[in-house]
Structure 1
Amino acid sequence: MVAADPFLKPGLHQAEDILKAHGVDAYYRSAAERTGDSHVVIDGRKVLMAGSGDYLGLSTHPKVTEAAVAALRRFGTGVAGSRVLNGSLDLHAELEGRMAAFLGQEAAAVTAVGFLANLALSALLGREDTAFVDARNHASLVDATRLGWGKVRSYRDLTHLRSRLEAAPADGGRLIITDGAFSMEGDVADLPGLRSLADSYGAKLIVDSAHDMGVLGPDGAGLASVHGVSVDLVTGSLSKAFGSVGGVLAGPSSYVRYLRSNARSVLFSTAVPPASVAATLAALAIIMAEPARRLRALELAEGLHNGLRGLGYDTRPSTTPIAPVRFPSLAQAGAFWAGLFEAGVFTNLVGPPAAADPMIRLALTANHDDTHLATVLSAFDEVGRRLGVERQPDLPPVVLTR
C-alpha cells in the first residue's frame, strides 16, 4: 500500500496550472513600485491598481508614512515579544483605547494581523458551545471555529439560521459569527435580522468588520453603525481602510480581558511592530477628521459599480466598494484578467477556494480620480468586446451601503 502524498491536494496551485495552460500568470505578481496607491509597476510596466483593499488610500498618505518612520526611529523594527510579556508599548495601549472609542466599545485588543484577531474566537468555543457561522465567512473565521472545541453549524440565510438555532441544545453558549461586508462578493450581512435572532435565542453576535470598518457608517465605524445595531464583539483588520497591518478585537471590557488572557493567537504571537501601530493611529486620526475621504471612496465605488453595470457586467450582490464580476469559467475569467492587464489595469482574479465562482474583483480607492475610473471602464468595454463576453442588458443601478 502506497501512502498518499500530503502535498498533492487540491488548492490554488491547481487554478494556477489551469491558468498557465492558457498563458495567464495572475498570482503572486510582484510590484517593484507603488505610486500613491493608484498605480503600481509590474514587469517594468506602470499599471492602474484597481484591486487594492486600501479603500481610503491611507497607506501612502504622508502623515501615515511619517508617523511610521518616527516610530521606527524611536522604537526600532519590532518588540521581539508577545504583548503579555515584554512586547507592550505605550503606542499599543493608545491604539487600543482609540479603537475602542472609535468603534463605540468599552475596550479593544490589538493583534499582529487580522487573521489572528479572528483566530482568537476559538477560545470562546467550549465543548458545550455552538457557533452559527455564515456559509461565506472569511477563512480566518472558518479556521477559528474549527480550532474551537464546540460544535459548528453553518447557515445560508436568516430562515436557515432560525432553524439551526431552534434545533440546537438549550444548554451551552451560542455564538452567531458573520462577516460585516463579505470580502469577495461585497454584500453586507443583515445585522438587524441577526441581532433579533441572537436576542430571541440567547446568542452572542460577533461581526468581522475587516472590510466595512473605516468605510461604512456615519463616522466610518462600520456596518453596525449604519443600522445602529449593537454587537457583542467586533473584530477587524487594520490592513484595509487603515492602510497598515494588524488586527483588533473590541467589545465589553470583560470579554476583551478574557480573550487577552485565553486566546492563543493573542498570547503566543509577537506584538504589532511599532511603525505599524503608529501608522494606524495616524490613519485613524485622518478617518475621523476627513470624512470627505470616505465619501469620495464611496462615490468612486458607486461610479465603478454603475459604470460596469451600464456595460452589462453585473456586480451584485455587492453594495460596498468591492465590485465582483463573475464568469462561467476560470479560463474565461483568466483571459479577461490578462486582457485588462495588457490594457494597463491590474485587477484581482479570484476563484476557488476564495470564491465559489470565478470572478474578477475590483476596488478603487480614495486616491483614484474620475480619469482612473474611466480608464477601468474603457478597458472592460474593450476587452469584453474583443473576447465576445456575453453581457446583461438593462441592469438597474446600485445604491451603496453608507
Structure 2
Amino acid sequence: MTGVFRITSQNPPAAAPVYRLATSVHDREGTHMAKADDMLQALDELISDGVRRGLVHNTAEDERLDGRLITVGGAPMVNFGSCSYLGLETHPALKAGVIDAVERFGTQFSSSRAYLSSPGYPIVEDALAQLFGRPTILAPSTSMGHLAAMPVVIGGDDVLLLDHQVHHSVQTAAKLVQAQGTRVDLLPHSDLRTLRRRLEELGGSHRRVWYALDGLYSMYADFAPFAAINELMAEFGQLWLYVDDAHSFSWTGHHGRGRALGELSALALSRSVVAGSLNKSFAAAGGALTFPDAEMRRLVFAVGGPLIFSGPVQPPMLGAVLASVRLHRTPEVAARQDVLLERIRLFNRLAAEHGLPVVSRSEAPIRCIGAGGPQVAYNLTARLRAAGYFTDVATAPAVPSKRSGSRITITAHHGAADVLGIVEALADALPRALAEEGENVTTLRRAFHRQLQRAA
C-alpha cells in the first residue's frame, strides 16, 4: 500500500497476552513502584512473548556479512537493526587494523590495567584524546565506564539529577553514587524549567549539582537541548554535566566527535564528563570517557572500580579502535556522514508524506515509529520482517510499555530504494497491526501525544 497512512478499520481485538507491566523502569513519575520481583516477572512475560513470536533473542544465520543484508529464520532481510551507522564494520582499513594487532600482540592480553596495559593502549588513548580534544580513558564498554567514573567524580556533597530517559547504564551507575551517600533525584525528560528550579533550590547547600543526560536518546531519537543547557551552565556555576553520547559518536560532529562535544560551549565542557561508545558507529569496541582536565582523568583511572578489577579491551579491538580513529580524521568519514544524512532526510520526508507517527523528527539515524502497546509493536515488527525488513522492537524496559514502537536504524549501507521500501512497508503494516490488535490511530496518538507534539 502506498499513499497517506490512514486507519479506518477497528476490528475486534485478537487474543493477546495481558502484560501486568503498566510502566517501564523509566516511567516512574506519579506511580508507585512495583516490587522488584513483580517487575521482573512482568518484564519476563513481555520479553518471553517476543521470544515466542521470534522477534527478540534472534541470531544471524549468515556465513558472511556485507552490512546491508541479514538472515534470520532462514529469510534474508535488509538490516535496519544495526547501530553501525556509518557502515565501517566492513571497511578494509578496520579489518587490516585488527589483523595487524592480532599478528603483533595475539588475541588476548590478560592483565588488569591497574598492573599492566597491553602495548596498544597508550597509542590508542592518545589518538582518542587528540580526536576528541580532551583527556580520554578507553573502558571495556560505555556501561563499564559509567560504573567506573560516576562514583568517583560525583561526591557525597553533590546532587545527581537524572533525566527521566537517561540511559539505563547511567541509572545503574547512579545506584552506586546513591549508595555512597549522594542525593539522587529524577527530573522530567528534557525539562530545563524544572532543572532551573532545582538548581535554585539546591545550589546553596551542595558543592555541585550534576545533571545526567543522553546526547541522543537511544529509542525515540530526540537530541538533548544543548543550546539551552549552555545558557544554564553560564548562569549556574555549580551545574555540572554527565553526558552519555553513545549514539552520537562517529556519525556526526567534526571528525565524529558527536553531538555533546560539538555543541556544548567551552564553558560547559569545562564542567562536563562526556562518554561515548566505540561499539556503534565507530565499528570497534569499548567506551570512551572524556574529561575536562587531566587530573579528573587520572583519578578515575586510578580508583574507578571496573578499571581496577575488570579486563581490558583486547588487542584485536584496540587495533580496530586505532584504525577507526585514523579513518575518522580523513575526508572519507565526512563523506559518509553526508550520505547518511541524505538517507535520514529522505526517510523523514517520505514518512511525513505517508503520515507515519515518527516519534521524533530529528535528523538522527534512529527512527522510532509509534505503535502503542507492546502487542501492536510486536505485530508491526513481524509484518516488517515478513516484508523483508529486519527492525527492532522498542518496548519495556527501554521505553514505557504503553509507548512501544518499531525502532529502525538507518546506516550508510542503505540505498535510497531501501529507505523507500521500508517506508512503504510501514505504511502498509501499521494500520493492519493496529486493527488486528483491536487498536486504532486515536489511541496510538493519545499514547504518544507529548512526543508527537514535540515532533510536529
Q: Does 1:68 align with 2:98?
A: yes
CA distance in 1: counterparts of 2:88 and 2:42, whole angstroms: 33
What percentage of aligned pairs have identical amino acids? 25
Q: How many residues are aligned here?
A: 391
Counterpart in 2 of 1:213? 249
Q: Does 1:317 align with 2:360?
A: yes
Which deviates more, 325-334 or 380-389? 380-389
Counterpart in 2 of 1:235? 275
Counterpart in 1 of 2:140? 112
Which of 366, 370, 380 aligns to 1:326? It is: 370
CA distance in 2: counterparts of 1:10 and 1:124, whole angstroms: 35
Counterpart in 2 of 1:145? 174
Give the CA deviation at 1:161.
Answer: 0.6
**Structure 2 counterpart of 1:15, one-letter code:** L
Matches within 5 A, 1:119-268: 119-120=147-148, 121-148=150-177, 149=180, 150-156=182-188, 157-168=191-202, 169-201=204-236, 202-227=238-263, 229-230=265-266, 231=269, 232-251=272-291, 252-268=293-309
Give the CA deviation at 1:374.
Answer: 2.2
State whether residues 287 and 294 of structure 1, in contact with CA within 8 Å, keep that contact through their aligned partners in structure 2.
Answer: no
Counterpart in 1 of 2:397? 353
Structure 1: 5+ residue stretches without partners: none
Which of 52, 58, 82 aligns to 2:88? It is: 58
Which deviates more, 233-242 or 74-83? 74-83
Q: Does 1:36 align with 2:76?
A: no
Give the CA deviation at 1:38.
Answer: 0.9
Q: Residues 343-365 of structure 1, C-alpha deviation per residue, up to 9 Å, x if partnerless? A: 11110101111012211111111
Q: Residues 234-273 of structure 1, C-alpha deviation per residue, up to 9 Å, x if partnerless? A: 1111111111220111121111111101211222111101
State whether residues 313 and 391 of structure 1, in contact with CA within 8 Å, keep that contact through their aligned partners in structure 2.
Answer: no
State whether residues 303 and 373 of structure 1, in contact with CA within 8 Å, keep that contact through their aligned partners in structure 2.
Answer: yes
- 3-state SS of the aligned residue for 1:178? strand
Counterpart in 1 of 2:112? 82
- 3-state SS of the aligned residue for 1:118? helix
- 3-state SS of the aligned residue for 1:152? strand
- 3-state SS of the aligned residue for 1:354? coil
State whether residues 16 and 25 of structure 1, in contact with CA within 8 Å, keep that contact through their aligned partners in structure 2.
Answer: no
State whether residues 50 and 56 of structure 2, in contact with CA within 8 Å, keep that contact through their aligned partners in structure 1.
Answer: no
CA distance in 1: counterparts of 2:441 and 2:96, whole angstroms: 46
CA distance in 2: counterparts of 1:377 and 1:318, whole angstroms: 14
Q: Residues 313-337 of structure 1, C-alpha deviation per residue, up to 9 Å, x if partnerless? A: 1223251111011112111111111
CA distance in 1: counterparts of 2:106 and 2:389, whole angstroms: 37
Give the CA deviation at 1:124.
Answer: 2.2
CA distance in 2: counterparts of 1:8 and 1:109, whole angstroms: 35
**Structure 2 counterpart of 1:119, one-letter code:** L
Q: TM-score, normalised by structure 1?
A: 0.90
Structure 2: 5+ residue stretches without partners: 1-34, 446-451
Residues 60 and 128 of structure 1: is their aligned pair in 2 closer, same or farther, counting only changes over 3 Å?
same
Counterpart in 1 of 2:388? 344
**Structure 2 counterpart of 1:112, one-letter code:** P
Q: Does 1:98 align with 2:139?
A: no
Instruction: Detail structure 1 runs of 4+ shifted over 4 Å in the superposition.
Output: 4-8, 388-393
- 3-state SS of the aligned residue for 1:361? strand
State whether residues 153 and 164 of structure 1, in contact with CA within 8 Å, keep that contact through their aligned partners in structure 2.
Answer: no
State whether residues 96 and 108 of structure 1, in contact with CA within 8 Å, keep that contact through their aligned partners in structure 2.
Answer: yes
Give the CA deviation at 1:143.
Answer: 1.0
Give the CA deviation at 1:44.
Answer: 1.9
- 3-state SS of the aligned residue for 2:86? coil
* Higher RCO (CA 8 Å, separation ≥ 6 residues): 2
- 3-state SS of the aligned residue for 2:136? strand
Give the CA deviation at 1:382.
Answer: 2.7
CA distance in 2: counterparts of 1:109 and 1:305, whole angstroms: 36
**Structure 2 counterpart of 1:96, one-letter code:** E
Matches within 5 A, 1:303-314: 303-314=346-357
- 3-state SS of the aligned residue for 1:336? helix
CA distance in 1: counterparts of 2:349 and 2:183, whole angstroms: 42
Q: Does 1:9 align with 2:40?
A: yes
Counterpart in 2 of 1:365? 411
CA distance in 2: counterparts of 1:195 and 1:155, whole angstroms: 18
| C-alpha RMSD over aligned residues | 2.5
Residues 253 and 11 of structure 1: is their aligned pair in 2 closer, same or farther, counting only changes over 3 Å?
farther
